[in-house]
Structure 1
Amino acid sequence: MSYLCPLCHSPLALKEKSFVCPQGHQFDKAKEGYVNLLPVQHKRSKDPGDSSEMMQARRAFLDAGHYQPLRDVICQLLAAAAPEALLDIGCGEGYYTAGFADVIPGEVKNIWGLDVSKVAIRYAAKRYPQVQFCVASSHRLPFADNSLDAVVRIFAPCKAEELARVVKPGGIVIAATPGPRHLMQLKGLIYEEVMLHSEEVEALPGFTAVQTAQTGWPMTLKGEEAVALLQMTPFAWRARQEIWQQLKAETAFACETDFIVRVWRREDDA
């Protein structure tokens, strides 16, 4: 299995240190081992995704184990499914992807991590050589039709039709989304009225929901950890400067997590 060219959608072949398609489009592997498959015309900004500062904070937060129970839940699901080809969409700096690689059987790992952030992928590839990482759009997956046994999405967007295209019949998509009470205490610092996360289930045409699990636990965070957590959330841009300073001064910020993990199975093509 190989990547598809993001420009002409032909298969890419690895020749020395570059991926090349029959049309002559070439994508060089970086020294860290990843490949950038995000052409400039597919970018929404010059440097999409998280910054280096955000990525370092995210790595420190995850390395401290604050979200390990979520990784454990997904790892258990993957161990039971035993996929031969797995893609982690929106993989960030690779914390979850590396955990998935540990539970997939076999010495040869067909495991990919994809993110729009080149900074994140550089961090991931440098630390986790057992995974193949690429910079690419989640809305234009650089993989062939019916080529993946499993796709994992943790808070990551992706077009439903793209998932239906790349996942094999009988394959699975595992999606982790916020539960109703996820980070209620953090949101309470930012919003005057705290709304529960919606429990509405997204539509995935071509897939059948086969399993749902909900998990959550309390966290007690030091100041820098609380700041890192805020940086990881989509409501960080709503936080006033005094909120950032308040979190930074915390010595034991109490906050709860709430996650919903759903498993979808790709229906057999008629």
Structure 2
Amino acid sequence: MPLLPLAHLLCPIDQSELQQDGNTWRCQNNHCFDIAKQGYVNLLPVQNKKSLDPGDSKEMIAARRDFLNSGVYQPIAIALANTVATLCQGRKQLGVLDAGCGEGYYLNAVSESLIQNEVALCATGLDISKWAVRSCKIRNPKLNGLVASNRQIPLPDHSQDIVLCTFGFPVFEEFKRVLKPGGHIVMADPGPEHLIELRSQIYDTVRRNPPADISAALGEGWQLSDSINVQFTSAPLSAEQFEHLLVMTPHLYRASREGRERAAKLQNIAISGDVLIRVISNSH
């Protein structure tokens, strides 16, 4: 089954419906948003930007792409794909939004799994970083790409069946708005042992924090319906893989100079993956 293009978008300026006209999306008030040559549309108004180039940088996205392509995090991608496939069993048409898609690795894995099950799928990657969305479109040109914020998702109410949020920044009210009745939020967050080998080198004191709090998402018909621990040990990583891993995570920018120097010497060491996948479901 083919991946489907987006049929409906909302204007980020006045929230009216956008209509596609050739290579432009236009609303009734004549706000226009061009489709980039890479196939994505930028719906992040200048007034909503906190910097000239918000989100992950070109270098961070390139490092993440190279690291993920090496397969180290494949157990996470497989677990996410299996989780979504189970939630959507028997469905023949689906809308899936990856809110904070990065360079598209996880959305592509989920999409490939669903398409194998003969699902007509509209899969959309959204990120505040234009470099992320560009990379997502390069990974799979059939994925829809939106440069936008999770605080103002330019999709209509009740238009999505699944919202993915993988190592991201959830905005639960917006997620709930765009989800259909019976929809699901699927989150993946680092557990206390995630990348412990790298963090032990970077920081003098390692904090084993629990996964992100989701209490703000629960109640009013929403509940935690599933929780899956994904734990694995990688093959020994090369120095290049450790460099990519460091650049693609916030740890590089939080570490002291000494910590970065220690991390730069790492090679031929396995790392621990510890990720919690949680499904928050609307019972209505």
TM over 0.5: yes
Shift of 1:97: 1.2
Maintained 8 Å contact 1:148/1:166: yes
Please say which of residues 191-200 and 126-135 is displaced more in the overlay.
191-200
1:25-49 residue CA offsets vs partner (Å, 9 max, x unmatched):
1100001100000011111111011
Maintained 8 Å contact 1:98/1:128: yes
1:107-163 residue CA offsets vs partner (Å, 9 max, x unmatched):
743110000001111121123112101100011111111111000000111221111
Q: Which position in structure 2 is the counterpart of 1:94? A: 104
Q: Which amino acid aligns with 1:223?
A: A
How many pairs align? 268
User: Could you say if the C-alpha distance between residues 79 and 107 of structure 1 is closer, same or farther in structure 2, counting changes exceeding 3 Å?
Assistant: closer
Among 223, 231, 240, the alignment partner of 2:239 is 223
Among 233, 236, 259, the alignment partner of 2:249 is 233
Maintained 8 Å contact 1:230/1:236: yes
Maintained 8 Å contact 1:170/1:266: yes
Q: Which amino acid aligns with 2:66?
A: A
Q: Which position in structure 2 is the counterpart of 1:10? A: 16
Q: Which position in structure 1 is the counterpart of 2:3? A: none
Q: Which position in structure 2 is the counterpart of 1:140? A: 152
Please say which of residues 193-202 and 82-91 is displaced more in the overlay.
193-202
Among 175, 180, 185, the alignment partner of 1:168 is 180
Maintained 8 Å contact 1:27/1:35: yes
Distance 1:137 1:233 in 2: 20
Maintained 8 Å contact 2:189/2:276: yes
Shift of 1:245: 4.0
| TM-score normalised by structure 1 residue count | 0.94
1:114 aligned to 2:130? no
Among 223, 235, 244, the alignment partner of 2:260 is 244
Q: Which amino acid aligns with 1:147?
A: S
1:265 aligned to 2:271? no
Maintained 8 Å contact 2:166/2:187: yes
Please say which of residues 187-196 and 31-40 is displaced more in the overlay.
187-196
Shift of 1:183: 1.3
List 4+ stretches of structure 1 deviating above 6 A.
none
Distance 1:193 1:250 in 2: 18
Maintained 8 Å contact 1:227/1:244: no
Instruction: Please give the secondary structure, in 2, of the residue aligned with 1:48.
Output: coil
1:210-247 residue CA offsets vs partner (Å, 9 max, x unmatched):
10000111122111211211222223212234443443
In structure 1, runs of 5+ residues without a counterpart are: none
Q: Which amino acid aligns with 2:109?
A: G
Instruction: Please give the secondary structure, in 2, of the residue aligned with 1:257.
Output: strand
Q: Percent identity?
A: 37
Output the aligned Cα RMSD.
1.6
Distance 1:222 1:247 in 2: 12
1:103 aligned to 2:103? no
Distance 1:131 1:111 in 2: 6
| TM-score normalised by structure 2 residue count | 0.89
Please say which of residues 174-183 and 250-259 is displaced more in the overlay.
250-259
Distance 1:49 1:200 in 2: 20
